[in-house]
Amino acid sequence: MKSILLFCLLTTCSISISNGQKLLAEIGSERNVYIIYYGQTPTFEYDSVTTVHKGGGIDKGWKSSVMIDKILKKMSKNKIKGDAIMFTSENMTDAQVINFKKNDLTKPSVELEKIENINLIYLEQRPLFEMEYVIAVESPKFIKNWRTKTLKKIMLKKALGQQKKFNILHFKEDDLWQADLYITK
């Protein structure tokens, strides 16, 4: 009986420790500009260059790659140079252009966005911790509201409905319709 109680206590402690740690991911780049998604915190020092607004109307068939492309095109058109863009709006319509304070920063990383104790990793990001695959999830094909916030909520609801233990949701598609669930080791 004591060994069962001890096992339960150790399991609870290890879950609490893994839930409390800050998980990091190496960020990817597009056209030599690193991409930091809304809700992620850079682990490096940086200087702000300017803020870029996507402009235009509503985007049908939303994809993060389209939003990234629009911000990068606006940077190019306005001759704005930067090491990275850091999205400042959840729907990826605004981004802060930043430069790294250290010129030799070879593998920039971010602290992951966390929603309801679930860490989110986006396409083109590489986790800097060990994790174990749990299951793949896919959202329903018909979604009325294509906003990022809505898509993340739908995927989280779908993932939590799987009745599996996980703490990482790693998006596999840039439209946020498919993800793999993982648990940190």
Judge whether 159 lies within some domain: no
pLDDT of residue 93: 86
- What pLDDT does 62 receive? 63
Place of tokens 């906003």: 147
Indicate whether 23 belongs to any domain. Answer: no
Distance between CA atoms of residues 130 and 109, nearest Å: 15
Is residue 41 in a domain? yes
Q: What is the dihedral of CA 92, 109, 177, 67, to 10 degrees?
A: 30
Domain contains 33: yes
For the stretch 70-112, pLDDT in tens is 999 999 999 999 999 999 988 888 999 999 998 767 789 999 9
DSSP 116-146: TTEEEE-TT-EESS-EEEEEEEE--S--S--
Please report the pLDDT score of residue 149 as a whole number.
76
Model pTM score? 0.81
Does some domain include residue 74?
yes
**Gyration radius (Cα) of the chain, Å:** 18
Structural domain total, the chain: 1
Which residues of the chain carry a pLDDT beneath 70? 1-20, 55-62, 104, 141-147
- Report the pLDDT value the prediction gives residue 1, as an integer from 0 to 100: 40
Instruction: State residue 132's pLDDT score.
Output: 97
Q: Is residue 148 part of a domain?
A: no
35 is a domain residue: yes
Predicted pLDDT of residue 5: 32
Domain that holds residue 68: 29-100
Q: Is residue 124 part of a domain?
A: no
